[in-house]
Amino acid sequence: MAGDYDLVVVANRLPVDRVEEPDGSTSWRRSPGGLVTALEPVMQREDGAWVGWAGTPGDPPEPFDAEGVRCVPIGLSAEEVQDYYEGFSNGTLWPLYHDVIVAPGYHRSWWEAYVAVNERFAEAAAEQAAEGATVWVQDYQLQLVPRMLRRRRPDLSIGFFNHIPFPPFEIFAQLPWRAAIIDGLLGADLIGFQRAADANNFTRACRRARNLPARAGRIRLDAEDGREVRAASFPISIDFQALDQLAQREDVIARAAEIRHELGDPEHVLLGIDRLDYTKGILHRLKAFEELLDDGRVQVGEAALVQVATPSRERVEQYVQLRQDVEVTVGRINGTYSTIAHTGVHYLHHSYGREEMAALFLAADVMLVTALRDGMNLVAKEYVAARHDERGVLVLSEFTGAADELGQALMINPHDIDGLKDTIVRALAMSPREAGRRMRALRRRVGDHDVQRWAASFLDALAQHHDEHNPQAAAAVEHSS
Ligand code: G6P
C-alpha cells in the first residue's frame, strides 16, 4: 500500500539529533551535515519524508515532524548496532571500500544482520512513498535497499548515492557477498558516485561479478525486460553560501583572532579537522610535523598545529587502536618539542559547532587534508568556503574525491613523508599573492558547484533516466491509475 510522500530519503541516520532538555523531555535538533542542508528545501517543497536510525539502540520513537520534514525512525537492537552498524558497515564495508587500509572482517553473522536491517529500511520506505514517488537511498550501509524496495514497489523511481569510494574489482572481489551487493544496488534506476573512477569501478564489477553487459555507465538487465541502470559521478559539495556568510560575521572573525592569540600568536597556524578515522591519514600528518620539528625546519612557538579529531565509531576495534596511536604520538611530540610557553600540537578530541569551526578555518594559514582514501572530503571544501579573505593554503591529498575538482590546492601523497614535509614548508612560505590566486580559483569552483546544485543535478538525472529507461515502472503506474 502506498504512503503519502513524493520524495523519500533513506539514510542510515536521521537528519536530526536527539537533545535532552533540562526538564527531562527530549527534542530534536537538525544535525550539521551537508546532506540535510541540501535536501531540506526540496523536502519541504515536495512533501518529503526521511527514513533513518535515531542513533541509539532500542525501540524507535514514533514518526515526527522536524524542520518541515517527516522523520521516520528505524529501530535497531543493541545486537544489530553491533552486527549491522559497527560490524558489517564499519568493520567490513568501510575498510574494504577504503583500499583495505585495515583488514575487513568477513563474518556471516554481520552479513545476516545487514540483510535484515536493510529489509527494515526498505519496508519503511515502501510504506511512506506515494504512488510513483522518488526514493533516494544514501550510502554503503544500505546497498541492498534499492533491490528490496523495487521488489515491493516497482512503481517507484529509485536513486542511490554512494558517499564513499567504490573500490577496484580486485579489492571488491574479496567480499563473499559481492554478487548480492551488486544486485542490491542494481535495484536503483540511477547510482551516483563521487568520482568518475568510482562509477567505472562499479560498472566493471557488474561485468566481472555478474557477467552483465555494462558499458559507459549503462548496465542492461535482460532478466528485467532490458531495464537499464545508469552509474555516473555526482561529486557532493557543501552549502558554500551559508559558510561564506558565517565566516564573514564579525563575532566569527573576532573569534578567529582570539584563537590565534590563545595559541600564543604563532607566525603560522596549521590545522587538521577530521573524524578520528584511519582513512584520514592523521598519523602521517603528525609524522611529517614531528620530523619538521626534528629537522628544525619548523619551530614550536613559530608554528602550532591544531588537530581537531571528532570522536567516531568508538566501539569499533580499529578506532580504539587509532585513538591510542594518535594520542601516544601527540604526547611524544609535545613531550619532546613543547616548552612551558608553547605547545607544538593542540589535540582536541571533541566536536565543535559551526561558528567555532568557521573561526578555526579563518585562523589557519595552512589546512592539512592528508587522507589515505576519502570519497570526497568536505572539510577541504569548507576551508575554501570560509576563506572569503582569499588567504590560507590548502594542502590536499590526491587520494580524496575533492582532488579531482580542487586543482589549485597543493597536492600531496600522504605516504611520501618527504614530499609532504616539503609541501608543508612550501605552504608556510607561500606569498600572499600566490595564495590569493589559488584561493580565488578554489572559491570559484566550490561556489559554482555547491550542495544545492549537487542534489538538483542528481534528482534531475534520476527523473530523466527513470522516464526513459524503466518500462516496467511506467506500466505499473499506468496500471494502477
Ligand atoms: C561518512 C559516511 C556517512 C556517515 C559519516 C559519519 O561520511 O559516508 O554515511 O554517516 O561518515 O559516520 P557515522 O558512522 O557516525 O554515521
Q: Which fold has domain 240-449?
A: Rossmann fold (3.40.50)
Going through 82-226 in order, the beta strands assigned E by DSSP cover 129-138, 157-161, 190-193, 214-215, 218-221
Q: What percentage of residues in the chain have a pLDDT greater than 70?
A: 97
Q: Measured at the alpha carbon of residue 279, what is the angle toward residues 273 and 284, in degrees to the nearest 5?
A: 75
How far is the centre of ligand 1, averaged over its atoms, from the C-alpha of 433 (Å)? 37
Q: Which residues line ligand 1 (CB under 6 A)?
A: 12-13, 139, 163-164, 312-313
Mean pLDDT of 338-361: 97
**Does residue 124 contact residue 74 with C-beta atoms inside 8 Å?**
yes
Spell out the CATH class of 5-236+452-480: alpha beta
Q: Do domains 5-236+452-480 and 240-449 have the same CATH topology?
A: yes
Mean pLDDT of 44-73: 92
The protein residue whose alpha carbon is closest to atom 14 in ligand 1 is 313
The protein residue whose alpha carbon is closest to atom 11 in ligand 1 is 275
Q: DSSP letter for 340, please.
A: S
How far is the centre of ligand 1, averaged over its atoms, from the C-alpha of 165 (Å)? 13
Helix or strand holding residue 305 (H, E)? strand 303-310
pLDDT of residue 237: 95
Which of 166, 275, 310 most suits a substitution to test ligand 1, by most atoms within 8 Å of the C-beta? Answer: 275
Average pLDDT of the residues of the chain: 95
Decide if pLDDT at 33 tops 90. Answer: no
Q: Express each pLDDT in 261-303 by its tens digit.
A: 999 999 999 999 999 999 999 999 999 999 999 999 999 999 9
The minimum-distance atom of ligand 1 relative to the CA of 312 is: 15
How far is the centre of ligand 1, averaged over its atoms, from the C-alpha of 313 (Å)? 9
How far is the centre of ligand 1, averaged over its atoms, from the C-alpha of 163 (Å)? 9
Q: Express each pLDDT in 109-153 by its tens digit.
A: 999 999 999 999 999 999 999 999 999 999 999 999 999 999 999
The protein residue whose alpha carbon is closest to atom 7 in ligand 1 is 163
Decide if pLDDT at 243 tops 80. Answer: yes
Question: Residue 257 corresponds to which cell in the numbers above?
Answer: 583572532
pLDDT of residue 479: 62
Strand partners, 274: 309
How far is the centre of ligand 1, averaged over its atoms, from the C-alpha of 56 (Å)? 15
How far is the centre of ligand 1, averaged over its atoms, from the C-alpha of 1 (Å)? 32
Q: Residue 480: which pLDDT band, with cuts at 50, 70 and 90?
A: low
CA distance 139 to 151: 20
pLDDT of residue 157: 98
Decide if pLDDT at 478 tops 70. Answer: no
Q: Express each pLDDT in 154-163 by its tens digit.
A: 999 999 999 9
Which of 9, 12, 137, 451 most suits a substitution to test ligand 1, by most atoms within 8 Å of the C-beta? Answer: 12
pLDDT of residue 43: 85
Q: Residue 364: which pLDDT band, with cuts at 50, 70 and 90?
A: very high
Domain boundaries, the chain: 5-236+452-480, 240-449
